[in-house]
């Protein structure tokens, strides 16, 4: 049995953590987010799971104006910077052929997020990369999240993310959204890429081991 003193001490630590968490949440929705990140990609690639893993302090859901399409918005701090993360409806292309795609395109074009995380199913890369190229051509700062790496490995696929990153000139982060593997790295790369794009220093192939490998792409 715990002594009453020990119980009191644990309760006060619990109350302190709860108070700190509530203060953080309150502050996060009172303040205007400093940066905005949109999560895009085709349906069923793990966008919402990644959104949930990236956010957590404050999430809202609303219909996009004039439609019944739901948009989830959440907030998170990365390195002291308050980000708004937007989970967009599934899209295959920037040329819309469904209500969801129209809303996703409109949201991107009107809100012009600081960064777009293109979530792709690592097993179906070749079918999905055209959207990555459209996003890059439309002037968005893009990070490619190669999700479902667990399934890709199971079917024997090996993807050289460094070469892919160099070819596309966007950072590529392998992720397993179901386990959370790669999410910390994704947060780090999002923050680093937003900072680099603000100073016009887009890196080609952001690597863990070689941070000096950078160049400004031709525009």
Beta strands in 65-176 (DSSP E): 70-78, 81-87, 115-121, 142-147, 172-174
Half-sphere exposure of 87 (CA within 13 A, CB side): 26
> Residue 96 class from Cβ within 10 Å (0-12 exposed, 13-18 middle, 19+ buried)?
middle
The token pair at 122 is: 């690592």
One residue of 47, 53, 75, 118 binding ligand GDP per CB under 6 A: 47
Binder of residue 150, out of ligand GDP, Mg ion, none (CB less than 5 to 8 A by kind): ligand GDP
One residue of 177, 186, 190, 206 binding ligand GDP per CB under 6 A: 177
- Quick note: the x/- pattern for Mg ion over 38-57, rule CB under 5 A, is ---------xx---------
43 belongs to the binding site for ligand GDP (CB under 6 A): yes
Name the residue nearer to ligand GDP (CB basis): 49 or 170.
49
Distance between CA atoms of 24 and 211, rounded to whole angstroms?
Answer: 32
Residues of the shown chain interacting with Mg ion in the complex, contacts defined by CB under 5 A: 47-48
Residues of the shown chain interacting with ligand GDP in the complex, contacts defined by CB under 6 A: 41, 43-49, 90, 147-148, 150-151, 176-178
């Amino acid at each position: 049995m715990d002594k009453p003193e020990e119980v009191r001490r644990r309760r006060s630590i619990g109350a302190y953590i709860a108070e700190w968490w509530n203060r953080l949440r309150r502050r996060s929705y009172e303040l205007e987010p400093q940066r905005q990140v949109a999560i895009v990609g085709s349906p069923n690639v793990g966008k919402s799971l990644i959104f949930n893993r990236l956010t957590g302090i404050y999430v809202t859901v609303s219909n996009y104006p004039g439609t019944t399409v739901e948009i989830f918005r959440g907030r998170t701090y990365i390195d002291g910077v308050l980000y708004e993360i937007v989970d967009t409806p599934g899209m295959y292309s920037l040329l819309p052929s469904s209500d969801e795609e129209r809303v996703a395109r409109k949201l991107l074009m009107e809100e012009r997020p600081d960064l777009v995380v293109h979530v792709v199913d690592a097993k179906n890369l070749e079918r999905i990369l055209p959207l990555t190229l459209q996003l890059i051509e439309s002037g968005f700062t893009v990070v490619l999240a190669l999700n479902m790496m667990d399934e890709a490995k199971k079917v024997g696929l090996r993807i050289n993310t460094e070469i892919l990153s160099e070819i596309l000139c966007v950072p590529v982060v392998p992720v397993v959204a179901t386990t959370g593997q790669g999410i910390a790295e994704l947060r780090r790369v999002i923050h680093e890429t937003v900072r680099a794009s603000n100073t016009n220093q887009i890196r080609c192939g952001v690597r863990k081991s070689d941070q000096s490998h950078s160049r400004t792409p031709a525009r």
